[in-house]
Amino acid sequence: MKAHYLYLLLGCIVMFSSLQAQTYSTPQSAYTHLYEVNQEWQHYPKACENAQIHFKSEEARIQFHLESVIAYLEQNVADGFTAIAQKKRYQLLDELKLYAARQVFPKNIYHQERRPYFIDHQGTHCAVGYLMKVSGAGDLAQQISQEHNYDYIADITTDGVEVWAMEHGFSVNELAWIQPGYPSETHYETFGGGTNGTVRKIVDLNPSLYVIGDFTEVNNMPCLSIGVYANNQLSCLGTGLNGTVNDVSEHGNINKIYAIGDLTHNGQQYAMAVYESATGWTYSNIPNRSGAKGIALLPTFNKQEVVLEYNGNHEVWEHDVTNDTWTKKATTVGVIHDLTFYATGICYVGDFDAITHHTGGSSQTYTSHNAIIYDYISNAFVDNTISATDADKVSDIIYTVEVQGAVLYFGGKCSLHGIALSRYFNNSVEALIRTADPTGLAPWSSITHSVQNIDDPQNNSIYDIEYNPSSGELLIATNMEHTPFVGLYSSGVFRYNATSALVSADGDFDEPVRSIWFNAANNTVVAGGEFSNCTGDSVAYIGELVVLSSIDPIPALKELATVVYPNPTDGNATIELDATEEQVTVRVLNALGQEMLKQTYESVNSIPLNLAGKEAGMYLVDVQTLERRSVTKLIKQ
């Protein structure tokens, strides 16, 4: 795994995401591990061993936390407790040892950040709730669950907590120290069956999603370089394309899909291929541009902007798709990597210092560093969109641009001035995320965050940016790691909140993430790149962030004991109840919280479950009677 690090500047506040919390396997100080589980350790820093340690699982880390607290509490008892209360204290600490050893802890399925769960959806009690339960105060634990299930002890106002603590030899502060937080159960799973090679670009052309990269299989079927995700299925677009595909556009009014790149067919090189469902792929070149390579596309009504590489230069062409005519618009001696609509025009980004506009038989050159705006109203480029004085506020090479309202966000390679992310608004530029700056050209005081790629400092890069309208955050695909403090990190996908200037992360990928897409329909994220693993899970080059928080909150019902077997299953399973129930409703939800099956039964204690025809993956089997409920995770192979 490549190591790439993102550090925060002193004094910056960081919001830790769920996947940053899941760094149990990373060697780091015992205190760092314990502080991650429960920040109350800041009051007891000398109560833990001074060693670099790691764990096989999050459960093992929580067990270590509980055992460390127990060891201290056994040796330190505050004054003011009766002999009977102290006896109960030691009895409960023995119970807590057994609880910790079992490693059966609540699951956080409703929050992306680490949170306490007093009693989870399966009836599993937290450490403090368990102590109440085994002491005979199970009703108090249930009452706390109903009123403050996701709160820390300091915020719980349920009557009886302080009285119970005093009667059993604990202070409320000690209970707060015992109470762990639990990391989110969100994780990445292979999207649509995945590919067998790098996914370089994900292109959303609603209602279809196109996947471009260096692969020969999609969803375990033969496919060269380009796939399409439609109707909840990832498949090949035709038979795929030989060569390198760089971008794709779709024109529904003429039922054609355009792909550009460095393509080969029957021994010939082409810059463009066109797909129609009736005829498949046909190949074409731009007039008088033999040997050109297609770089980027932007559909514009009945036209599309096409960026070509030709004779060492990059050119911008307007392609009228209705009559297949081409008009040369601009030339740069540099490189254009991306383009997007902005205000009344288009913004182009890359690695250049000037661009020449061709119009009406004449040409005019405009100066700008790595980003320039073309305005349709004036039919001209905006000179000095990024002036020479602002050159050290943007990336050395801008790979991607994202627009949100009147704001442009630039991300790219940052080996010289160290700027990974910057913002353009109201004709001014602001640097947001940076690497270490060996030149000293960019003032630290103007930057929110600092990043560093320690393995390859010349290749710190942001490859893609996507705006998440649900949260107001930027989703960032990168090769760097986010390290809020020593020992905690996550890599590949960051979230940047432009309002609060907070950085969080959504994954710990073993290799760079190249492209990112926000799935508004499911309120989740799809990432593509060079990776094959994320946070210990196998993810085949394209993965979807699975968030279980879309499941409806569970009402205050008593626990129902059920067994679902076989688990995993090939499609057929059985649900066994602990008693015959007058009415039972079974719901099966997929990992996104979508209801896949619902059926009500009467007077049963055994229910057949048929998942034949359903996709392989994780499902939740929600069984509810008139008074009780259980939720069980079921894996379909």
Q: Rounded mean pLDDT of 316-334?
A: 95
pLDDT at 599 over 60: yes
Q: Rounded mean pLDDT of 103-117?
A: 81
- Residue 457 has what pLDDT? 52
Distance CA 388, CA 391 (A): 5
Q: Rounded mean pLDDT of 27-38?
A: 91
How far CA 368 is from CA of 330, 372, 386, 431, in Å, comes to 14, 6, 5, 17
Instruction: Evaluate whether 618 touches 629 at the Cβ level (below 8 Å).
Output: no
Distance CA 300, CA 612 (A): 44
Q: pLDDT confidence of 78, banded at 50, 70, 90?
A: confident
Domain 187-549 homologous superfamily, CATH: YVTN repeat-like/Quinoprotein amine dehydrogenase (2.130.10.10)
Which residue has tokens 């129902």?
560
Q: Which residues are CB-neighbours of 188 under 8 A, at least 6 positions away?
A: 506, 507, 527, 534, 535, 537, 539, 543, 544, 545, 546
SS3 content of the chain, % helix, strand, coil (to 5): 15, 45, 35
566 preceded by a cis bond (ω within 30 of 0): yes
Its CATH architecture, for the domain 552-636, is: Sandwich (2.60)
- Residue 634 has what pLDDT? 82
Give the least confident one: 97-111, 148-162, 267-281: 97-111
Q: pLDDT confidence of 446, banded at 50, 70, 90?
A: very low
Eight-class DSSP state of 540: -
- Residue 315 has what pLDDT? 98
Distance CA 619, CA 633 (A): 6
Nearest to 516 by CA among 259, 196, 204: 204
- Residue 456 has what pLDDT? 53
Q: pLDDT confidence of 231, banded at 50, 70, 90?
A: confident
Distance CA 304, CA 316 (A): 10
Between 8 and 418, the more confident residue is: 418
- Residue 444 has what pLDDT? 33
Give the least confident one: 68-72, 106-110, 159-163, 546-550: 546-550
The CATH 2.130.10.10 portion of the chain extends over 187-549
pLDDT at 216 over 80: yes
Render the burial of 202-226: b for 16+ CB within 10 Å, e for the rest.
bbeeeebbbbbbbbebbbeeebbbb
pLDDT at 553 over 80: no
The CATH 2.60.40.3080 portion of the chain extends over 552-636
DSSP H or E stretch at residue 173: helix 172-178
Give the least confident one: 91-100, 369-378, 487-496, 610-619: 487-496
Distance CA 298, CA 408 (A): 17
pLDDT at 487 over 50: no
pLDDT at 414 over 90: no
pLDDT at 539 over 70: yes
Burial-class residue 294 by CB neighbours within 10 Å (0-12, 13-18, 19+): buried
Give the least confident one: 119-133, 172-186, 303-317, 585-599: 585-599
Q: Rounded mean pLDDT of 394-409?
A: 94
What would the DSSP string read from start to end of 202-256?
A: EEEETTEEEEEEE-SEETTEE-BSEEEEETTEEEESTTB-SEEEEEEEEETTTTE
- Residue 620 has what pLDDT? 76
Pick from 97-106, 304-313, 551-560 the range whose average pLDDT is largest. 304-313
- Residue 112 has what pLDDT? 59
Q: pLDDT confidence of 11, banded at 50, 70, 90?
A: very low
Nearest to 37 by CA among 183, 188, 235, 165: 183
Q: Rounded mean pLDDT of 358-366?
A: 94
Instruction: Evaluate whether 516 touches 531 at the Cβ level (below 8 Å).
Output: no
- 617 backbone dihedrals φ, ψ, rounded to 5°: 150, -165
- Residue 6 has what pLDDT? 38
Instruction: Evaluate whether 248 touches 263 at the Cβ level (below 8 Å).
Output: no
Render the burial of 407-445: b for 16+ CB within 10 Å, e for the rest.
ebbbbbbbbbbbbbbbbbeeeebbbbbbbbbeeeebeee
- Residue 594 has what pLDDT? 63
Q: Rounded mean pLDDT of 129-138?
A: 95
- Residue 560 has what pLDDT? 81
Distance CA 267, CA 388 (A): 45
- Residue 10 has what pLDDT? 23
How far CA 489 is from CA of 20, 451, 486, 501, in Å, comes to 6, 12, 8, 18
Between 620 and 343, the more confident residue is: 343
Amino acid at 171: S
Say how many CA atoms lie within 13 Å of 130 toward its Cβ. Answer: 25
pLDDT at 302 over 80: yes
- Residue 190 has what pLDDT? 94
- Residue 328 has what pLDDT? 96
Distance CA 64, CA 179 (A): 13
In the predicted model, what is the mean pLDDT of the chain?
Answer: 85
Q: Rounded mean pLDDT of 188-206?
A: 93
Between 438 and 155, the more confident residue is: 155
Handedness of CA 19, 25, 28, 29 (dihedral sign): positive
pLDDT at 68 over 90: yes
| pTM (global) more than 0.75 | no
How far CA 447 is from CA of 4, 459, 534, in Å, comes to 19, 20, 29
Nearest to 54 by CA among 64, 66, 69: 64
Between 517 and 433, the more confident residue is: 517
Dmax over CA atoms of the chain, in Å, equals 98
Q: What residues pair up with 623 in beta bridges, in sequence order?
A: 586, 630
